Amino acid sequence: MCSTRTGTGRAWSLSGGKVEEGEPPGTALVRGMRQETGIEVEVGRLLYVCGSLSGSTHVVHVTFEARHIGGTIGDITDGLDSRPIRGVEFVKFADLPNLGFTEKLRQLVMTGFPGSGSYMGAKSNIGL
């Protein structure tokens, strides 16, 4: 699993970003991973969709499985992300709780995301 350290809120998060107007979600994932981590990925299966409310803004999280196919981890261009990335690492699934992710998310990862491709409701339902 690849994580990025932003230094805001929970120190580590899954790599990702906004979808540009007219951009398919898979293309946004490839672009976001390149910008935030320096690595190239191939998009795999849809793992889950969940949402969160921040004031009057509703954010939808669409999370895909991705396979590392190239690039160099940490080879990022400053200024491409609204929050500076302070670190990028591949981490072992067992280490997720040590990085601020919940045990619930670790369990979902370890069991291969049962129910993958489904709407999970609030992001707290999956431990984010």
Predicted TM-score (pTM) of the model is 0.74
Look-up of token digits 């999970």:
120
Phi, psi angle pair for 118, to nearest 5°: -110, 165
Express each pLDDT in 60-113 by its tens digit: 888 888 899 999 887 776 665 555 666 777 888 888 888 888 888 888 888 988
8 Å CB contact between 85 and 39: no
17 in helix, strand or coil?
Answer: coil
CATH node for 2-126: 3.90.79.10
User: What is the average pLDDT score of the chain?
Assistant: 80
